[in-house]
Structure 1
Amino acid sequence: MTTRSFNDRLRGIHAATIVPMNSDFSIDERALATHLSQVVSVPGINGLLVNGHAGENFMLSLAEKLRIVEIAREHSPRDCLIVSGVNHEASLEAAREAAALEKVGADGLLVFPPNSWALAHAGTCVIEHHQRIRDVTSVPLMLYGAPVSAGAMAYSQPVLQQLVADRRFVAIKEGSWEVSAYEQNLRLIRRLRPDFAVLSSGDEHLLTSYIIGSGGSQVSLAAVVPELVVSLWKAAEAGNWAQARVMHEKLYPLAVAIYRDAPPGRATARLKACLKLLGRLSSDALRPPHLPVSSTELQALDLALHMAGALEVRSG
């Protein structure tokens, strides 16, 4: 029996999941197991991204991140691809975190840029950070292409070229959230490494990314309405652009309500609120300083879920 490569398994839709919290802000492990099980049970969801931004990775201790990987492994099918984010300001700690996440069962690791890089950083620091992680791990590694709106965090073309040249890195979660930047990076990567997987991760413009070219997506929208995201991908992969447009029209208002509407930086709170509205999460608690959604946000999310067909229209 031929073993499928990491990139073969990465193709398609992978859900970036949230982490349910108790009222004391500890992780609700039972609710987390239920959340993960519900998502991976949807046909067409090929894997999970845990310890990502939607999973509040910058708020978690190393012990908590390791436990999340263990729970994901325990409550997912054997062939489910589990990628864990690695997110730390210090390169030495990021490397320690990466090695530990691999040891507890992550199939691959997604290396997030430190948040401090949004202010400024030297390109050599980017390479050093990734090499520190590379040198203590053996599983496939992924890059993260940050939004162009995230200050200096998005990699320049010369830096991206150096990162892609490292054969230990095999894929990128391309989160430019801007179509022209996405296409520019896609074309650079395809020219340098045709084998390199480019996953579009701008939830608002998945359709556009699929038209330009994509190997799939690791997105948190797939943790809320996985069936719709899978349907969009399948239609796009089949070249059925009329059907893909129908799915896009359902998804777009929800993506805007979660990711774009002011105030910014509220995606995780809104994802949890959506899951609560859908009856799949009992508590939408987040770790401070983040707060649950306002009544205005909740109303917008409720409307968007109805427009997506995810909620039944209420009578009266």
Structure 2
Amino acid sequence: MKLTGVIPACILPMHPDGSIDETAYAAHLEQLVSTPGVRGVTCNGHAAEVSTLSREERRRAVEIAVATVAGRAPVICGIHARDHREAVAYAGDARAAGADALLVLPPDSLAHDADPAAALRHFEHVAGAVPLPLVAFVYPEFTGMQYGAQLLERICTLDAVVAIKEWSLDIRVYERNLGIARSAGHEITMLSSFSTNLLPTLALGADGILSGHGSVVAGLQARLFDAVAAGDLAGAREVYGRLQTLTAVVYRDPMPNMYARMKEQLVMLGAELTPTVRAPLVPVTERERADLRRALSEADLLPAGARS
């Protein structure tokens, strides 16, 4: 499997009581997969508040994603787990539900000074138990869960690994990891998740974009990707400027609450969903809401008559 282009990581709509709104979720997925330039969809990632989901909710989320996308693009399922045993269970559920690939997040133990080799074993166990392509999710250093160069090189020796979701948020680390992907013994694509600096990462040679922000701006991301691929620097700068107007109000402290802001913007854009989030995320403030709406207007995305 060669994963390229824009691959949004979807949000997960919820009813006001916090239960999954399956109708709104399916509509959100349909809107994403119907967007020109979208070449895949990722479910059960950070944008879907995966750490708050039960095993049954994760299974149901990927079932709905597979049914809605209906073979029009690959469905990648995020695997967020405490250890390899839990990861294998979630991966098996995803395969049974019809997922095409797995986005493997670092094991939580890395944040608690575990031996980095545990991350390699994590991948080995998943690859050995579930025959699906794997995407390695690279974290920022401040999380305590970033893979060093040697560890990432070893992960990339696994035949099942077909892509890197690069979220280091450090352009130097990004360049290093791009080199690791390009020098692997088999084809591994580079998917930028550096949402606040997409143009530099694409210009350096990313093969695509895998980002939660794609839940809101997949169309703009696709235009940016296409402009860079065509060598249209002026066009790329114009689209990038619009994206940067949006990232300034979405990617701000407290950073984890970015997904609450994305849901608010989707409501403003006319999506039939509520902005409900689960703890530890919190509803946005009225001041934030005004900033989010202003940014959509400045980026020329806010349609006439959209809800406030």
Instruction: Give, in angstroms, the shift of residue 116 of structure 1.
Output: 4.2
Residue 228 of structure 1 corresponds to: 220
Residue 132 of structure 1 corresponds to: 125
Residue 243 of structure 2 corresponds to: 251
* 2:300 is aligned with 1:309: yes
Over 3 Å counting, the alpha-carbon distance change for 1:305 and 1:189 in structure 2 is same
**Would you say how many aligned residue pairs link Structure 1 and Structure 2?**
305
Secondary structure at the aligned position of 2:279 is classed as: coil
**Paired residues of 2:62 and 2:94 also in contact (CA < 8 A):** yes
Residue 269 of structure 1 corresponds to: 260
| Larger mean Cα displacement after TM superposition, 236-245 or 221-230 | 221-230
Instruction: Give, in angstroms, the shift of residue 119 of structure 1.
Output: 3.8
| Larger mean Cα displacement after TM superposition, 292-301 or 227-236 | 292-301
What does 1:91-170 align with in structure 2 at a 5 Å threshold? Answer: 91-150=84-143, 152-170=144-162
* 2:283 is aligned with 1:292: yes
Residue 218 of structure 1 corresponds to: 210
Residue 278 of structure 1 corresponds to: 269
* 2:78 is aligned with 1:71: no
Share of identical aligned residues, percent?
34
Over 3 Å counting, the alpha-carbon distance change for 1:186 and 1:77 in structure 2 is same
Separation of aligned partners in 2, 1:299 and 1:202: 25
| Larger mean Cα displacement after TM superposition, 186-195 or 71-80 | 186-195
Q: Which amino acid aligns with 1:24?
A: D
Secondary structure at the aligned position of 1:192 is classed as: coil
Separation of aligned partners in 1, 2:63 and 2:164: 24
Instruction: Give, in angstroms, the shift of residue 121 of structure 1.
Output: 2.2
Which residue of 200, 203, 219 corresponds with 1:208? 200
**Paired residues of 1:225 and 1:310 also in contact (CA < 8 A):** no
Calculate the aligned-residue CA RMSD, in Å.
1.5
Separation of aligned partners in 1, 2:194 and 2:87: 25
1:101-133 deviation digits (Å, cap 9, x = unpaired): 111100000100134423422122111111111
Residue 49 of structure 1 corresponds to: 42
Secondary structure at the aligned position of 1:134 is classed as: helix
**Paired residues of 2:163 and 2:190 also in contact (CA < 8 A):** yes
Instruction: Give, in angstroms, the shift of residue 290 of structure 1.
Output: 1.7
Instruction: Give, in angstroms, the shift of residue 40 of structure 1.
Output: 1.0
1:235-259 deviation digits (Å, cap 9, x = unpaired): 0111111101100000012112112
User: What TM-score, normalized to structure 1?
Assistant: 0.93
Secondary structure at the aligned position of 2:213 is classed as: helix
Query: Unpaired segments of 5 or more residues in structure 2?
Result: none
Query: Unpaired segments of 5 or more residues in structure 1?
Result: 1-5
Secondary structure at the aligned position of 2:47 is classed as: coil
- Shift >6 Å, 4+ stretches: none
1:221-246 deviation digits (Å, cap 9, x = unpaired): 22112211111011011111110110
Instruction: Give, in angstroms, the shift of residue 191 of structure 1.
Output: 2.0
Separation of aligned partners in 2, 1:228 and 1:68: 26
Secondary structure at the aligned position of 2:69 is classed as: coil
Separation of aligned partners in 2, 1:25 and 1:309: 32
Separation of aligned partners in 1, 2:146 and 2:222: 28
Q: Which amino acid aligns with 1:135?
A: G
| Larger mean Cα displacement after TM superposition, 126-135 or 231-240 | 126-135
Separation of aligned partners in 1, 2:51 and 2:62: 15
